[in-house]
Amino acid sequence: MPKQPSKWLPRFSGDGVTKPSEHIYNFHNALTVNQVGEYEDVYMKHFASTFEGNVSSWLNNLRENSITGYDMFEKKFRDHWEHKVDDRFLLNQLYEIKRKEGELIQDFNHRFDTLVAKIDVDLKPTEKAITLHYTNAFEGHFGFLLREKNPISLLDAQDKVVAMDSNVLATGKIDLFGSSRSAPKPQPKPKESLVNENPTPTLEELAQMMKTMMQMQMREKPKHEPPRPHYIGPGFQPGYGRQPRRPNKQQGKVPNTLSPQNLVSDDLF
The predicted structure's pLDDT at residue 192: 54
44 vs 67: CA distance, rounded Å = 10
- 3 state SS of 12: strand
Q: Is a pLDDT exceeding 70 seen at residue 188?
A: no
Find out whether 13 and 54 touch, Cβ atoms under 8 Å.
Answer: yes
Q: Output the pTM of the full model.
A: 0.40
Per-residue pLDDT, averaged over 91-108, amounts to 89
Residues 212-244 have pLDDT tens digits of 888 777 776 555 555 555 555 555 555 544 455
166 contacts: CB under 8 Å, gap ≥ 6 = none
The predicted structure's pLDDT at residue 84: 65
- Residue 78 zone, left/alpha/beta (φ > 0; ψ -120 to 50; rest): alpha
Find out whether 113 and 73 touch, Cβ atoms under 8 Å.
Answer: no
Rg (CA), the chain: 50
